[in-house]
Structure formats: structure tokens, C-alpha cells
Amino acid sequence: MEQEIIESINTLLVEEFEVERGQITPEADLKTTLDLDSLDYIDLVAITESNFGCKVKPEDFNDIRTFGEFYNYIIAHTRSESAEVVSKAEVVSKAEPTRQTSREPAETKELI
């Protein structure tokens, strides 16, 4: 799954930032390779959120220097978002009362 996410990230970056796929390596500098300015970072946040379903804080990018760090960030946040959704679903399913859908009484007695 991680490799699929990395491939998706690379494909997205190639399309959105018009960079050669060969330039994107885990060790490469994100800002330099993509030629990012402050508006590009905003685009990167929006693209990341819309394509990977995770909430990204723009200030988190202050600590992301390489593509490898970016991959790890997305993978970690994708997992935590998935875990949160599952957790919320479990809470909802446990909180819902069991409903009787039939109009018949719960127990029926035979007439003798």
C-alpha cells in the first residue's frame, strides 16, 4: 500500500508541477525540485488533501524538506485518517440501539 501511495504522489506531482519523474527521488529536495513558492505550497496542501483524504496543516510543510519526508507524512496521515474514520464508525455502530423491524411481537406463544 505504501508503494501505491508513493506512486500516486509522484504521478500527481509530475502532472501538477510539470517536473520529470526521474527528478523525484526520496532524497531530492522538495522545494528545489518542484520550484515551490508560497502559493505553490498552498496548491500542494490543497492537492494533497483532495487526493489523499487527509487534513494537512500548512505549517507542517516547514519541516518537510525531501520527497521521502513528504511520502512519510502522507502515509502517516492517510493511516491516521483511516483509523479515525474506522473509530468513528465503531462508535456510531455501538451507539445505535437495536431496532425491531418487524411489526410482530418479539415473542409469540402458541395457542393450545
Grid cell listed for 36: 515551490
Dihedral angle computed from the Cα positions of residues 3, 52, 42 and 84, in that order, rounded to the nearest 10 degrees: -120
What residue ranges define each of the domains in the chain, with the CATH number in brackets? 2-82 (1.10.1200.10)
**CB atoms closer than 10 angstroms to residue 24:** 21
Cut 0.75: pTM above it? no
The strand pairing partners of 56, in sequence order, are none
Local confidence pLDDT in tens for the 112 residues of the chain: 799 999 999 999 999 999 999 999 999 999 999 999 989 989 999 999 999 988 888 888 889 999 999 999 999 998 765 544 443 444 444 455 555 555 555 555 555 5
Give the Å distances, CA to CA, from 83 to 47, 74, 93, 94, 112.
21, 14, 15, 16, 55
Amino acid letter for position 32: T
